[in-house]
Structure 1
């Protein structure tokens, strides 16, 4: 068959599509699509500016003299820049102790939460046992109970265990929540069962399968749970305020921030500086786990079988 015959047998539309540069490099955007893209970027920048502006204002307020915090008309920058406010925070009270306690409680609480949530999520999501779904629904129902309602019963339990004014009371009561279990269960249900079947054929039991197969696949979801748990413990105020007696020894950072308000007035400049300092660890954590956060949030919502 001649080359001319082959050329005629190919549809004209196919030849034009193959010859079209737009087909080889991807379809070009229309003006309407470009306009929507620009509007989307503008909306993102405006939303980011709205969310960042309070933090920027708080930072510059931390550099103002206390007498100019509520000056009218309001100004972003004070008459002088007082970097010494960040140093005076540590001289005003045991602020280093507050930071150390918050860091210890947040790290221990996050570690316990991850261990408990991954194991419970695996039991609810992968193992088959009688009454599993009913128990899980009851477990999820605890999320509808406000934490403020549980404060008094939990405080009584801490008294029974003689744990009032201890680190155990600050860490354990909120380390067994349903949110982490639900998050991990949703991710585990999206993992193909064929992986477990292959591991079982190779002689792996449930514990080995959980540690060597399931957990390595759940790094992104564990990163999401780590951030949420760390933020929850780091920002907790009501429970440490109630269960702690000696604030100078066991006080956490949110309780320490409240100490800048007293009978003699409020040191707003130092309180703003302390708030900016308290944001540093959580900001670093979120930046460090940013990629895993995006991936984990996207994958944790996938349903399985």
Structure 2
């Protein structure tokens, strides 16, 4: 019966469809098994590669990289297209997959194949689905995590390519204005190699440590001016800064300026800080590093 079913599919030219991500450096045993399984049963095989709008640790490879990887093993045997959006609902995702199939092979019926934990179990579209036996118990995530540095021109070229072709990023930072009770004095910090200039205490927003920009501000004060107490933090304004660390790159820093009032405690320098000092607001722009001077204008409003 299984052989008759296989021959029936081939004779009727039903399209075999695989919806997958294939976010690995090389096709693993499970990938090859499902591709071979579908190729044996269909004259026409369609692979729909899900594509993320941005490169992430979960989706580091572009559509073109994955297309080339598949075609290097299965040359001229598989039609490969992308589904470049990730809808929030199973219903919408299923509708878009149906649309891709129809746009690629109009007036053809299809069967969508997948393994135990695949898209076929959440699919709500019009085409038939078929579960393929799972023979690979590994994890693509673990495969990616094991990728290590390789001393080769190809590896270095790949790293350069990935960085040159990723979307430009805005790195969020949090800077804190700690004012005295008269709102005439402000606490600034000094760091090494800044020629005696001062800056607002600040940190990069860290999604592993911070639940909000305000919590990042609390962490900032505890890190750079430990021992003082302040009122709750208020968000004043966000602003793109000309940070020297990103000056010759495609990326930029966007800072969120918070304000708080000093209540008490001895302002001593914390980690990464050489000095902490009170500065009169009238002298603020004179003592600041260049990239923080725009923040002085916000404080003085």
Higher relative contact order (CA 8 A, sep 6+): 1
TM range (shorter): under 0.3
TM-score by length of 2: 0.19
TM-score by length of 1: 0.19
Higher strand share: 2
Higher helix share: 1
